[in-house]
Amino acid sequence: MKSYRAKRSTLVFTLGFLGLLTALTVFGVFYAEPQLFFVAFLLVLAWRWRQILKTPVEVRVRDDGAIEFRGIIGGTVLSVDQIRRVVRVGRGYWLEHADGSLNLYGNMEGIEEFLAELRAVNPELEVKPFTWGQKN
C-alpha cells in the first residue's frame, strides 16, 4: 500500500489562518458594527471550515486497486475508473469523479508520482491545468 500525505506546514498554516480569521470574526460579531456583516462572514467561514476539514490530507493506494482519500473528518474510497478528470488549480488539484469532486493539496509528498500512476492505469484520464472559460 502506497501513501501520500500533505505536508504538515501546509496544514498548520491553513488551519492557523482559518482559525485566526474565525477568531477575528467572532470578535467582530460582538464588538463591531455592522454585526450582520460579521454574522454572514461567520457563516461563510463555517462553510470553509467544513471544506478544509474534508479535504484529503492523505491518499492511500490499496493493494486491491482502490484509492482512499482521507481528510481530517471523513473520507472517500474510489476506484481508478471512477476518476474522470484531474485539473490543476493554482497550487492544488481538483479530482472529478462519478459522485462529485475532491480537492487535493498540491504539495503532497509524491503527488506527481500518484498522478503518473493514475495515468498509467487509466490512459483515458484527462489531466490538465485549469483555464478560465474552459468547456467540460
Predicted structure pTM score: 0.82
* CATH 2.30.29 at 2-129, yes or no: yes
Express each pLDDT in 52-75 by its tens digit. Answer: 999 999 999 999 989 999 999 999
| Residues 38/32, Cβ–Cβ less than 8 Å | yes
134, three cell numbers: 474552459
In this structure, what is the dihedral angle of CA atoms 112, 88, 96, 104, given to the nearest 10 degrees? Answer: 60
pLDDT 10s digits, 14-55 = 999 999 999 999 998 888 888 889 899 999 999 999 999 999
